[in-house]
Structure 1
Amino acid sequence: MMPVDLGTTVAEVAWVAPSPRLEWGFELHDVDGNPFEAEIDGWIERPDGERFAAPAFFDGDAVWRIRFTPEQSGVYRLAGVTRRTSSGRHELEAALQTPAAYGVRQAPAPGFVRRLASDPSRFGLDGTRPWYPFGMNVAWHAEDQFPLCFARMSEAGMNWSRVWMVHWAGLNLDWFMRGDKLGQLDLEVARRWDRIIESAEQHNIRFQLVLQHHGQVSTFVNSNWHDHPWSRARGGFLAHPAEFFTHPRALELTRRKYRYIVARWGYSPAVMAWELFNEVEYTNGYLGAKVKRWIDHFVDLGQHFAGADGHAVAEWHAEMAALLRSVDVHRHLVTTSAAEPNHPLWESMDYLQGHCYRHDMLSAVSAIPDGADPERPFFWGEIGDHNMAYPDKADGRYTRAMLWAGLMSGAAGAAQIWAWDRVEALDLYRDFAAAAAFIRAGDFAGRRLTRQPVQVEPAPGTAATAGPFAMAVADDERVAGWAYHGLGVHHPGEEAVRGRLTLRGRRAGRWRVDWLSTGEPAVLDGCELEVGPEGALVLETPDIRRDVAFVARWLEER
């Protein structure tokens, strides 16, 4: 390609945290037809002289933009603009609205989430700085509430979230593009996402951007199929929901939308990952492939399961993951959410996440499910007590219990609370702040802590249902644990319990033990003690009416 000369003006750009994106804007007047169908690339020249293609996005009228986050200091230049067609790349004449070149001073690592180079089962910023995701879902919100929510989360020490592209919150790019608008994207929605992502950047929140959710192509669970713009009932082209994964027109429209998403927001380190689907197991394509074989013996549900093919769902994931990676110059992670950790669709994903809504949540979220790939990161991306009968949901007691139990699995990230509305309504941010302090004290990001057995000896006369009970994660030099009152974790007003906790296999020597509040970031008590050659770390708990956390650090050999 011979680049079009776009000028040589250099604008000095000071590095401004957290994401000093470079943005080139230009007009193209020779792009006919639907601009969302055009594959426009800008050729950026790095300071070392290397050139690469970055996808451009349409922003209204004849304006196109390219966004890029620099990873080194020096001058970055837009060397040319091309359009990709079936016959190859073609040069375009671009009328620049911005300087052609930017000078960047002292560009530090921007902080894109990767799998940690030294341990690919964990996360790291830019692959080198260990990072432990901890936060809560904020799947949708009024636009003006996102900055307030992200600010509260950041103040409480949270660094992770998960936001869906849903139509009912005005966050879906193409849900209302019907009739002759089919194939176009809503620029007002796009600008809304601009502001959400900028707010996440400002507050140091990295989130999974959820591209699809199950209800869009399900007739069984949280169904929105009756209003899907691609459904024949609404003037579209899909006869059945399962065709979303296989119909050529659906595949082409999805590819175009995903290219646009990467072009517009792929610059941002605030996007932890592209999440292809929320709970794809509830779509007709996935669910139907599992049950059609036997349910047809009892009742005709062919109108729901027509076209269902579990292999097609896995192939769709592989194709869309490949598409995202092919255009994403910043190499964001790609994931999805599905119930079965050994399903073939996970083969093309960078990390695994599950969702957990069980009757015994404390046991469930404090474990990694069977079948999860130990060579890739895993964490629970949603947890909730929706299937539990406890009467204490309204006061947030069990939300706090799930939060703490979810730190005890040894996973690559915390188990992430779903009910952000409950956190906001009950102002549970202090509980998260306490957990964040515990995560720092336990060095969850820098260590590979794994679940460890804890032997508990209740004080004499303690009711068996009261406990205490305890969980812990540890490595050779660090133990982080949580002890709780079996009744008080649910109900206020219980008598305090005490007990002795023993963790075996610990390193001999001098240890420092701190007992931490679970309701605020505070140290309650602490001491130093000796672990002998037999390796038993023995802790005497304080009074426990609800719960308490502890961190033990090896100091030195004796």
Structure 2
Amino acid sequence: MKKIFLATLFLILASQLTYAQINSFSQDNKNAKLYEKTEFSIKLTGQWDNPYLQEDVALDMLITSPAGKKLILPCYYESGKSGAESTWKARFAPQETGTYHYTFKFSKSGNAVSTSKEGQFAVAKSAKNGFIHPKNNWAFQFDNGIPFRGIGENIAWESRSSDDSKFFKGLHENPKYNYEYMLPSLAKHGGNFYRTWISAWNLPIDWHKGFNSNRYTPSDKYFNPSAIAKMDRLVTLSDSLGVYIMLTLGQGDYNTRDGGFSPNAADFFVNPKSMQRYKNRLRYIIARWGYSTSIGAWELFNEVDNVQFGNKAKPISADSIVVWHDVMSAYIKETDPYQHLVTTSISHRDLKGLNSLKCIDFNQKHIYKNTASIPEAIVKYEDDFKKPYVIGEYSYEWDWSKNFDDFPLEMDSDFKRGLWYGLFSPTPILPMSWWWEYFDNRGTDAYFNRVKTISDQMLANGNNLEQVKTTASVADVKTLGVKAGRKTFVYAFNPTDAKQALRVQFDSKGSKLTVRVYDCESGQYKKATLTKKGEQVELSVSEIAAKSDMVFIVTEGGK
């Protein structure tokens, strides 16, 4: 019986080998550079039912770095038919200089059936900083050690064909709100980070039709070619502008009506077929775009608690959602050779256990109509769960059935306040506003440059920032302090309708202190008075205008 089994197994493997062969491979761009894309084309002959399903077939690039580090890079199918020669691609961004060695391995049903001969390529230096990685609650850091704090907004999607806004339908449907307009505008205004969605109407990589957008073409292919092409352009554009993406992956087209395996969201989180389908989706995304240093973070879900309570009468089990996130975040860490940051988000309802998952690098929630609570919320979540916390969305108003032009100044002020409260809180990505078209139309988003001016000064003194306790002479004035090396920054906001004389106190052991004041609205520097008694420092200005803010910059050493 054993002999029969072995003979049968031999015939199966022999059959697979007959129809699986890596024929050739080539390096498309010969001058490989540090942190930049090096692309390879692989020609192979193999048989499959679906080349996008790793349980059917898979191609991996096995890499040995100059320092001897072993990497497995997933490759992706490009073109060709089963049983004939096909083209596959590998996109790799080296994180070391020197000579790399590699082979390609083709697998059928989980078994290696063909391995290429060895290749090698040399990597030269570049001016790039590399990928973003964890550092501490205040900042992330690049591969080269340079600190990073994200300043930006949600640009969740390009304009749709039909928008349901009661007052801003025309604005939200305006064709100019595409990535080619919005991303250069973000960069010009001082932003370096944005959040965008893969969804049925934006970057719909695994939807076939019904996009509510004329930017995409219906297709029966497993992944939509027009969405893939758009995503390619988006990543290239982001890289050229030096802006970083929090890519919200979403659940994809999991529903049976869209070609998936689950009839509803509750089934999606537990159905093994849906979970395997999602892993294949992740593998393709990592294989095609994981090389990009402009991918700042993979975000598994937008407001997963709203998905949980999609049916309020029968909410989805929190345990199943948390287990799903545990499995998928671990899969990303196993599959992504660059170890991009991984996150997910809630609207306002916490799911027990979600904030403690090992492979989630930072936690998120969204805060609307309560921007003043941002500093306290960040500190509380970080104290509770010992990892960075980010406010992924905020605004003065969330209800799109209201006319924001009835309270535009409040919208603008809240936009600015969220940025400053984030800058002076221990968060590596400043809170990100919603309503990107509205704030672009008003010119409010040009304000990013004001915040960037102070953020750059903070990070120039290192990424080991720390909070400083401050006390204001006027009870209604909000003050926040941050120490960065030899500089201490104190933010003050006067929310009242009257100008105020202001004194702010904090403790410092530094000597030869000097001070100047940055006017947040004008971007100009002004004079202030500083006195020091023992370790107590007092800063004073004769006037802080109504509904205005400023930043005191105190420098030790007299410079």
Q: TM-score, with normalisation over the residues of structure 2?
A: 0.79
- The reply to whether residue 368 of structure 1 matches residue 378 of structure 2 is yes
- The reply to whether residue 173 of structure 1 matches residue 205 of structure 2 is yes
**Secondary structure class of the residue paired with 2:286:** helix
- The residue aligned with 2:491 is 482
- The residue aligned with 1:71 is 95
1:126-145 alignment, distance < 5 Å = 126=143, 128-141=145-158, 145=178
Contact 1:36 1:256 (8 Å CA) reproduced? yes
Contact 1:366 1:407 (8 Å CA) reproduced? no
**CA shift in 2, pair 1:43/1:110, >3 Å:** farther
Selected match of 1:345 from 326, 349, 354: 354
- TM-superposed CA distance for 1:383, in Å, is 0.9
Write the deviation string for residues 373-401 of structure 1: whole angstroms up to 9, x where unpaired. Answer: 46321121111111599943367233223
**CA shift in 2, pair 1:66/1:183, >3 Å:** same
- TM-superposed CA distance for 1:542, in Å, is 3.8
- TM-superposed CA distance for 1:484, in Å, is 2.8
Give the AA of the match of 2:107.
Answer: R
- TM-superposed CA distance for 1:556, in Å, is 2.7
- The reply to whether residue 500 of structure 1 matches residue 511 of structure 2 is no
Contact 1:10 1:100 (8 Å CA) reproduced? no
Write the deviation string for residues 265-305 of structure 1: whole angstroms up to 9, x where unpaired. Answer: 11111111111101101113x677xx7xxxxxxxxx45xx4
**CA shift in 2, pair 1:151/1:340, >3 Å:** same
**CA shift in 2, pair 1:7/1:195, >3 Å:** closer
**Secondary structure class of the residue paired with 1:501:** strand
- The residue aligned with 1:152 is 185
**Secondary structure class of the residue paired with 1:176:** coil
- The residue aligned with 1:418 is 434
Selected match of 1:198 from 209, 232, 236: 236
- TM-superposed CA distance for 1:48, in Å, is 5.1
Range with bigger deviation, 364-373 or 144-153: 364-373
- TM-superposed CA distance for 1:109, in Å, is 6.2
Q: How many residues align?
A: 499
Write the deviation string for residues 215-251 of structure 1: whole angstroms up to 9, x where unpaired. Answer: x7xxxxxxxxxxx66245x675423321110012211
1:89-488 alignment, distance < 5 Å = 89-91=112-114, 101-107=120-126, 110-116=129-135, 119=136, 122-126=139-143, 128-141=145-158, 145-169=178-202, 171-176=203-208, 184-212=222-250, 230-231=255-256, 237-284=261-308, 301-302=313-314, 305=315, 308-338=316-346, 339=348, 343-346=352-355, 347-348=357-358, 349-358=360-369, 360-365=370-375, 367-368=377-378, 370-372=380-382, 373=384, 375-386=386-397, 391-393=406-408, 396-443=412-459, 446-458=462-474, 468-474=477-483, 477-487=486-496
- TM-superposed CA distance for 1:78, in Å, is 4.4
**CA shift in 2, pair 1:508/1:331, >3 Å:** closer
Contact 2:25 2:43 (8 Å CA) reproduced? no
Contact 1:75 1:102 (8 Å CA) reproduced? yes
**CA shift in 2, pair 1:469/1:72, >3 Å:** closer
**CA shift in 2, pair 1:13/1:513, >3 Å:** same
- The residue aligned with 2:74 is 55
**Distance in 1 separating the partners of 2:105 and 2:30:** 22
Contact 2:299 2:342 (8 Å CA) reproduced? yes
**CA shift in 2, pair 1:235/1:152, >3 Å:** closer
Aligned-pair identity in percent equals: 20
Contact 1:78 1:100 (8 Å CA) reproduced? yes
Contact 1:22 1:102 (8 Å CA) reproduced? no
**CA shift in 2, pair 1:176/1:485, >3 Å:** same
**Secondary structure class of the residue paired with 2:333:** helix
Contact 2:459 2:484 (8 Å CA) reproduced? no
Range with bigger deviation, 204-213 or 379-388: 379-388
Give the AA of the match of 2:156.
Answer: A
Write the deviation string for residues 68-100 of structure 1: whole angstroms up to 9, x where unpaired. Answer: 1112223445423322533x2221679xxxx96
**CA shift in 2, pair 1:75/1:107, >3 Å:** farther
**CA shift in 2, pair 1:273/1:392, >3 Å:** same
Structure 1 gaps, min length 5: 217-227, 292-300, 459-463, 489-494
Structure 2 gaps, min length 5: 1-20, 81-85, 160-174, 211-218
Contact 2:194 2:246 (8 Å CA) reproduced? yes
- The residue aligned with 2:42 is 26
**Secondary structure class of the residue paired with 1:252:** helix
Range with bigger deviation, 414-423 or 258-267: 414-423
Give the AA of the match of 1:261.
Answer: I
Give the AA of the match of 2:143.
Answer: D
**CA shift in 2, pair 1:126/1:256, >3 Å:** same
**Distance in 2 separating the partners of 1:235 and 1:511:** 66
Give the AA of the match of 2:224.
Answer: D
Write the deviation string for residues 438-481 of structure 1: whole angstroms up to 9, x where unpaired. Answer: 212333883444454433334xxxxx8xx544333346743323
**CA shift in 2, pair 1:160/1:267, >3 Å:** same
Give the AA of the match of 1:482.
Answer: Y
**CA shift in 2, pair 1:477/1:366, >3 Å:** farther
**Secondary structure class of the residue paired with 1:249:** helix
**Distance in 2 separating the partners of 1:309 and 1:154:** 41
**Secondary structure class of the residue paired with 1:398:** helix
**CA shift in 2, pair 1:444/1:334, >3 Å:** farther
**Distance in 2 separating the partners of 1:432 and 1:366:** 22
Contact 2:260 2:274 (8 Å CA) reproduced? no
Write the deviation string for residues 350-392 of structure 1: whole angstroms up to 9, x where unpaired. Answer: 111221113x322335642634346321121111111599943
- The residue aligned with 1:491 is none
**Distance in 1 separating the partners of 2:489 and 2:398:** 28
**Secondary structure class of the residue paired with 2:366:** strand
**Distance in 1 separating the partners of 2:29 and 2:260:** 47
Contact 2:375 2:425 (8 Å CA) reproduced? yes
**Distance in 2 separating the partners of 1:405 and 1:541:** 24
**Secondary structure class of the residue paired with 1:282:** helix
Give the AA of the match of 2:149.
Answer: Y
Contact 1:10 1:102 (8 Å CA) reproduced? no
Q: Supply the RMSD in Å over aligned alpha carbons.
A: 3.5
- TM-superposed CA distance for 1:541, in Å, is 5.0
